[in-house]
Amino acid sequence: MAVNRDSSVNSCDFVLFGTLGDLARRKLLPAMYQLDRAGLLHEDTRIVGVARSAMSQQEFLDAVQTALNTFVKESLEPDVLSRYLSRLTYYSTDFTDPSGFADLKNHLAPGSVMVNYFATPPSIYGAIGKCLKENELIQPDTRVVLEKPIGNDLASSKVINDQVAEYFEENQIYRIDHYLGKETVQNLVALRFANSLFASKWDNRTIDHVQITVAEEVGIEGRWGYFDGAGQMRDMIQNHLLQVLSLVAMDPPVNLDADSIRDEKVKVLKSLRPIDHTNVYENSVRGQYARGFLRGESVPGYLEEEGANTESDCETFVALRVDIDNWRWAGVPFYLRSGKRMPTKHSEIVVQFKNPPHNLYKDLYKELPPNKLTIRLQPHEGVEIQVMNKVPGLDSSTRLQTSKLDLSFSDTFKNARIADAYERLLLECMLGNQSLFVRRDEVEQAWTWCDSIIEAWQRSNEPPKRYPAGSWGPVASVAMITRDGRAWEE
Ligand SMILES: NC(=O)C1=CN([C@@H]2O[C@H](COP(=O)(O)OP(=O)(O)OC[C@H]3O[C@@H](n4cnc5c(N)ncnc54)[C@H](OP(=O)(O)O)[C@@H]3O)[C@@H](O)[C@H]2O)C=CC1
Ligand SMILES: O=C1O[C@H](COP(=O)(O)O)[C@@H](O)[C@H](O)[C@H]1O
3-state secondary structure of 374: strand
Q: How far is the CA of 469 from the centre of ligand 2 (A)?
A: 17
The CB of 96 under 6 Å from ligand 1? The reply is yes
pLDDT of residue 468: 98
What DSSP element (H or E) covers 233?
none
Give backbone dihedrals phi and psi of 62, rounded to 5 degrees, phi first.
-65, -40
For a substitution probing ligand 1, which of 15, 22, 93 has the most ligand atoms within 8 Å of its CB?
22
CA-proximal residue: ligand 1, atom 29 (nearest): 95
pLDDT of residue 5: 44
Q: Which of 424, 414, 416, 418 is nearest to 35 (CA)?
A: 424
Please state the atom number of ligand 1 nearest to the C-alpha of residue 178: 47
Q: How far is the CA of 95 from the centre of ligand 1 (A)?
A: 11
Is 346 in the active site? no
3-state secondary structure of 17: strand
Q: Which of 42, 107, 209, 240 is catalytic?
A: 240
Please state the atom number of ligand 2 nearest to the C-alpha of residue 240: 1
CA distance 473 to 339: 7
The CB of 22 under 6 Å from ligand 1? The reply is yes
Q: How far is the CA of 218 from the centre of ligand 2 (A)?
A: 9
pLDDT of residue 6: 46
Q: Is the dihedral of CA 444, 190, 6, 23 positive or negative?
A: positive
Q: How far is the CA of 474 from the centre of ligand 1 (A)?
A: 33
pLDDT of residue 8: 58
Report the phi/psi class of residue 450: left, alpha or beta, with left for phi > 0 and alpha for psi in -120 to 50.
alpha
Which residues in the chain land under pLDDT 50? 1-7
The CB of 151 under 6 Å from ligand 1? The reply is no
ipTM of the complex: 0.97
The CB of 428 under 6 Å from ligand 1? The reply is no
Annotated binding site: 52, 94-95, 148, 178, 182, 216, 235, 340, 345
The CB of 183 under 6 Å from ligand 2? The reply is no
Please state the atom number of ligand 2 nearest to the C-alpha of residue 214: 10
CA distance 219 to 342: 9
Q: Can you list the alpha helix ranges (DSSP code H) found in 2-124?
A: 22-23, 29-37, 57-71, 78-87
Q: Is the dihedral of CA 254, 255, 257, 258 positive or negative?
A: positive
pLDDT of residue 289: 98
Tell me the whole-structure pTM to 2 decimals.
0.95
Check whether the bond before 379 is cis (ω within 30° of 0).
Answer: yes
CA distance 174 to 426: 10
Q: How far is the CA of 332 from the centre of ligand 1 (A)?
A: 40
CA distance 46 to 39: 14
